[in-house]
A and B are shown apart, each in its own frame.
Chain A
Amino acid sequence: MGTAELLWNGLAALLTLFIFSFLYRDNVFYKFAERLVAGVSAGYWTILLYHTSFTDKVIVPIFEQQHYWYIIPSILGIMMWTRFSRKWAWLSRISLAFYIGIATGVALPIAMYASIYRQLQASMVSISLDWAGINSALVTIGLLCSLAYFYFSKEHDGWFGGISRVGIYTLMIGFGAGFGLTVMGRISLLIDRVLFLKDYVLTLFGA
């Protein structure tokens, strides 16, 4: 490890310890690390957006490729800047409405495909009299009961309440499994960071 790398890794190790210090309580080291990382990332993101959005989607298409229809979305973008003027701020609402409306419209068929059609396909299975069939039947019952839980037009009492309760138990079983899986992933991240610190300390003392 060269001197420069040693210094940079030292800084990374120090900042990691500063962030870990939050586990004890809020303190000046954590505040320093927090503001440094938030500030640096905001600056980095600004430059990244400048290149990926402004250069690639405004400068290049309009001035280099002469695709003048890009002026229309550019005007919508400029209208967002009217928020700084009390008199003209209402113009920015047009851009916002356009942006959210288009995004929702584009998302609809994809959501229909991923959330409804694909789910329907996966749920239409043949039920056989073996373990695989019993598994499919259990999943199907859980699925139908979970759907009933998200039925808002009827009070969840009586027989419907029972079905709904089976639905929420099914969801909780799924969430429990998801929780365990993710905690394992987080522990891996922690181990990775602790190993980084250990390696750095060993390198520092020439081990």
Chain B
Amino acid sequence: MDRLKLIPLIVLSALLVFIINADAGAQEEAPADTAEIVKPAPPQNVRVVDNPNDNGHYLLIRWDPSPDEGKGDNDVMGYNIYRSDKPDGEYRQMGTMPVGFYEYEDGSEEEVLAGEKNLEYMEIGETYYYKLTSVTPQDVESEFTEPVSGVPTADWFHAGKLSYFIALFLYISLVLYFIKAAKSGQKLYIRPLGGIEAIDNAIGRATEMGRPILFVLGTGTASDIATIAGYTILGRVARKTAEYQIPVLVPVNEPVMMSVAQETVRNAYIEAGRPDLYDEKNIPYVTAMQFPYVAAVNGIMIREKTATNFYMGLFHAEALLLAETGATTGAIQISGTDQPSQLPFFIAATDFTLIGEELYAASAYLSGQPLLLGPLKAQDYAKALLIVIMVIGLITMTIGWSFWYDLFSTNIT
């Protein structure tokens, strides 16, 4: 009976010994398998071309897939790109592209990055040499391809922007036509804008109350289109304040904007015949940081007790903070911006709002100058043209023709 009990134990031991031996055999054989490393075939037909429509610091490297791509043990996972400035010089790896991508953009226009030489930098007109390899998932690399060279060159024209050039040319032609028409005495009708008509009344109110006017140009930069439109309205307001002899306060958040605003107000005072009233200190630089600027402007509203507040320019999150404080002081407020995200706050918290393009129209309307009325008329014609283009696009897309859509699906990035 005891012997019978030993049988399973013996079988189990034999099985264990067999497994251990089999595993040891496999481990001994393993080096024999890895000893035969099969390198994949390198990529084929490597070409180097200048990157089109750029400033001359980039090259495009293109290739055809390795014949081993998608095959057995030496399947290819990706391609390494190496660059040198001499055909037989030292090649440095610039990047790796996965299978499925057969183009690599190499180069950089930054010669120095973080105080150190940028190894990706590419000199205009220099010759650069490239070699490529294929790489397997086991990180086995193929032999190098033969070196292929390319020369980065700068382009004067961006061919991808040709349609923009044509559109701008047509638009500028329209602008010039209407400027000429306005200069020749032709009456160009512009419909009245609610916010504009309120400007004179608001200045009059400040005069009656004997309090200053606050003009905020926003937190954009001096060269933003909305800020530029703001300068024109500021000029008009400043001219009126010079006539009525009340100060206009223009705290700004950018040094260049301060210079332009000072020039604008100074010219307005000269035009009004009161250069003696111009005070540069009324147009101070406060700070470039958004919320400290808001805190300072809110303080000005409260302490100077401004009767009228203008917000004309590019605004961000500070729009509501400024307009709400102004509303609590009881000032008449007129706002205008081309920022869709801030318009709701101005509409809610100010008395009149110039919405988007009305801000640009306002500057033309106020000035009455042919130079500004012409573009406004041209914009209206351009808008009518855009509506026609859009309607044609809708019809053609609905009936399944995409040629019209393709015509406008250019990309400049």
Contact = CB atoms under 8 A, between A and B. Distances in A.
Interface stretch (B25-33, B95-103, B291-299): B291-299
Contacts of A40: 292
Contacts of A125: 394, 397
Given A100-B223, A140-B394, A153 B191 contact: yes
Interface string A135-176: 000001001100110111111100000000000000110111
B288 A45 contact: yes
Contacts of A178: 340-341, 343-344
Interface of B: 111-112, 161, 164, 167-168, 188-191, 193, 221-223, 225, 228, 256, 259-260, 262-263, 285-289, 291-293, 295-296, 298-299, 302-303, 320, 340-341, 343-345, 347-348, 355-358, 361, 376-377, 379-380, 383-384, 386-387, 389-391, 393-394, 396-398, 400, 404-405, 408-413
Contacts of B383: 147, 150-151
Interface in A5-26: 19, 22, 26
Nearest to B296: A38
A182 B344 contact: yes
A38 B223 contact: no
A44 interface: yes
Nearest to B393: A124
Contact of A26 (B299, B387, B389): B299
B377 A99 contact: no
7 contacts: A42-B287, A44-B289, A121-B409, A126-B394, A143-B390, A150-B383, A155-B191
Nearest to B256: A99
What band does the interface of chain A fall in when counting residues whose beta carbon is under 8 Å from B? 35 or more
Task: State the main secondary structure of chain B at its contact with A.
Answer: helix
A130 B260 CA distance: 54
Contact of B386 (A37, A120, A152, A154): A120
A22 B397 CA distance: 56
Contacts of A194: none
A144 B161 CA distance: 26
B295 A34 contact: yes
A72 interface: no
A116 B393 CA distance: 14
A31 interface: yes
B292 A182 contact: no
Contact of B380 (A107, A110, A153, A172): A153
Contact of A116 (B295, B361, B386): B386
Contact of B390 (A33, A107, A120, A186): A120
Contacts of A34: 292, 295-296, 298-299
A203 interface: no
